[in-house]
Amino acid sequence: MPSPDYDLDAWRKRIPLLASCIPMNNCSQAPQTDATRAAADRYLDSWNTKGMDWDAWMEEVQLAKRAFASLVNASSDEIAVFSSVSEATSAVASALDFSGPSRNVVVSEMEFPTVGHVWLAQRQRGARVAWVPVQDGGIEPEAYESLLNDRTAVVSACHGYYLNGFTQDLAQLAARAHAAGALLFADAYQTLGAVPVDVKALGVDFLAAGNLKYLMGVPGIAFLYVRRELVETLHPSVTGWFGRADPFAFDAKRLDWAPNASRFDTGTPPIVNAFIARAGMELIASVGAGEIRKWHEVLAKRLIDGGRARGLRSHGTDDVSRKTANTAFLVRDSHAVEAAMRARGVLPSARGPVIRLAPHFYSSLDDVDSALDLLAELTLDA
Ligand SMILES: Cc1ncc(COP(=O)(O)O)c(C=O)c1O
């Protein structure tokens, strides 16, 4: 039996939910660990015993930025913090000029809807949006080519497709966008924590992600990487006092810009979420993104082969080198199937026509087999 290069049983003991459930919904919300629980308690204790500990709380936000930076091989002055990827995308869009000749936005149809919505809203500011179609559950990099030209301002491409885990080749897309004189915005919400990401090697200009999926965190926090060379050229109109050079200057009449990616920060940061997010990101770093990816490939193969053997129909590519472990199966009423599986102790994630089974680093092959058995029992006619 294959096994990961780390101590699976030791990690499993740190996730209380595993005593009662099989979480296969990591593409949606990963379970609580002892580390994230302790981080939440640390904030609550600080608030309860000190009333407020502003400087330490601000330091905690910086440490969370640093943890995110280190996961993507950036430095913390290239990271801004938000409460959602929607907000991060809006801030990026607000810093781009769509009033001149370069006003085209090329958006993959794989974007999580919120990212598409932000780009569509830029039409009020002059943007023209063109969509790169999804075919057979994926997009080949060549599909971007006919839409790219010297009027393209930005290309928006998610790294991992929320529906079926298909991963786009960001390095290729960055090269193609740059050759057309455009920037590349990447949404890595479905890959960070599951796939090693190196923003420098990929050459992306912006990369956003939140924490509640493979980064083992909570809703209400997201981070944005902005390539250092770009930072000083950008002046987001989605802004606030934390985007200033000195937020504590308290000068309402002076709109100066922080010299680093903090100029993308907006209001009071999500402090409690930063405590928890850092714990989740440090936990992932201590398991190791490369080790996690290796195990995810084993789990993905087990899902695809096991699904086929049971007569389930998967959505998208079968090539595990081109997808995350998130594997989608076509079913008739996905929400009813999700409810029925939950009632039997397996937590899947329904999206439109599919049930997504998304294991993570702590998942065992038995977890995968049990989830597939139950899905087959509930959805296939006897
Ligand atoms: C790829 C991707 N992007 C964005 C989001 C959501 O972004 P937000 O933080 O704005 O809710 C999700 C999922 O919830 C997602 O899967």
Ligand 1 centre and the CA of 363: distance in Å? Answer: 23
Confidence of residue 382 (pLDDT cuts 50, 70, 90): low
Residue 82 burial (CB count, 10 A):
25
Ligand 1 atom 6: residue of nearest CA: 85
Q: Is the pTM of this model over 0.95?
A: yes
Ligand 1 atom 5: residue of nearest CA: 112
Q: Report whether pLDDT(85) > 70.
A: yes
Contact (Cβ atoms closer than 8 angstroms) between residue 186 and residue 161: no
Q: What is the pLDDT of residue 8?
A: 98
Which residues line the pocket of ligand 1, CB cutoff 6 A?
A: 84-86, 112, 114, 158, 162, 187, 189-190, 210, 222
Distance between CA atoms of residues 297 and 48, nearest Å: 44
What confidence tens digit (pLDDT) does each residue in 325-341 have? 999 999 999 999 999 99
Which of 29, 81, 85 is the best mutation target for the ligand 1 pocket, counting ligand atoms within 8 Å of the beta carbon and taking the most? 85
Tokens of 259: 């010299």
Ligand 1 centre and the CA of 160: distance in Å? Answer: 11
Ligand 1 closest atom vs CA 190: 1
Q: Report whether pLDDT(311) > 80.
A: yes
The residue written with tokens 């993905």 in the block is 300
Ligand 1 centre and the CA of 85: distance in Å? Answer: 6
Going by C-alpha positions, the residue among 211, 273, 213 that lies closest to residue 40 is 273
For the purposes of burial, counting CB atoms within 10 Å of the CB of 30, is it exposed (0-12), middle (13-18) or buried (19 or more)?
A: buried
Ligand 1 centre and the CA of 311: distance in Å? Answer: 31
Ligand 1 closest atom vs CA 212: 14
What confidence tens digit (pLDDT) does each residue in 92-141 have? 999 999 999 999 999 999 999 999 999 999 999 999 999 999 999 999 99
Which of 29, 109, 114 is the best mutation target for the ligand 1 pocket, counting ligand atoms within 8 Å of the beta carbon and taking the most? 114
Residue 87 burial (CB count, 10 A):
22
Tokens of 120: 């569509």
Tokens of 335: 């929400």
Confidence of residue 1 (pLDDT cuts 50, 70, 90): confident
For the chain, the maximum distance between any two Cα atoms, rounded to a whole number of angstroms, is 71
Phi, psi of 14 (to 5 degrees): -90, 5
Ligand 1 centre and the CA of 112: distance in Å? Answer: 6
What confidence tens digit (pLDDT) does each residue in 25-72 have? 999 999 999 999 999 999 999 999 999 999 999 999 999 999 999 999
Q: What is the pLDDT of residue 31?
A: 98
Q: What is the pLDDT of residue 381?
A: 76
Ligand 1 centre and the CA of 352: distance in Å? Answer: 16
Ligand 1 atom 16: residue of nearest CA: 162
What confidence tens digit (pLDDT) does each residue in 264-309 have? 999 999 999 999 999 999 999 999 999 999 999 999 999 999 999 9
Ligand 1 centre and the CA of 90: distance in Å? Answer: 13
What confidence tens digit (pLDDT) does each residue in 338-359 have? 999 999 999 999 999 999 999 9
What confidence tens digit (pLDDT) does each residue in 22-35 have? 999 999 999 999 99
Task: Please give the average per-residue pLDDT across 204-214, as a whole number.
Answer: 98
Ligand 1 centre and the CA of 270: distance in Å? Answer: 17
Ligand 1 centre and the CA of 28: distance in Å? Answer: 9
Ligand 1 closest atom vs CA 188: 1
Ligand 1 centre and the CA of 142: distance in Å? Answer: 25
Contact (Cβ atoms closer than 8 angstroms) between residue 194 and residue 360: yes
Ligand 1 atom 14: residue of nearest CA: 28
235 Cβ neighbours under 8 A, 6+ residues apart: 95, 257, 263
SS3 letters across the chain: CCCCCCCHHHHHCCCHHHHCCEECECCCCCCCCHHHHHHHHHHHHHHHHHCCCHHHHHHHHHHHHHHHHHHHCCCHHHEEEECCHHHHHHHHHHCCCCCCCCCEEEEECCCCHHHHHHHHHHHHHCCEEEEECCECCECCHHHHHHHCCCCEEEEEEECECCCCCEECCHHHHHHHHHHCCCEEEEECCCCCCCCCCCHHHHCCCEEEEECCCCCCCCCCCEEEEECHHHHCCCCCCCCCHHHCCCHHHCCCCCCCCCCCHHHHCCCCCCHHHHHHHHHHHHHHHHHCHHHHHHHHHHHHHHHHHHHHHCCCCEECCCCHHHECCCEEEECCCHHHHHHHHHHCCEECEEECCEEEEECCCCCCHHHHHHHHHHHHHHHCCC
Q: What is the pLDDT of residue 368?
A: 98
Distance between CA atoms of residues 5 and 310, nearest Å: 29
Which of 90, 112, 118 is the best mutation target for the ligand 1 pocket, counting ligand atoms within 8 Å of the beta carbon and taking the most? 112
Q: What is the pLDDT of residue 225?
A: 99
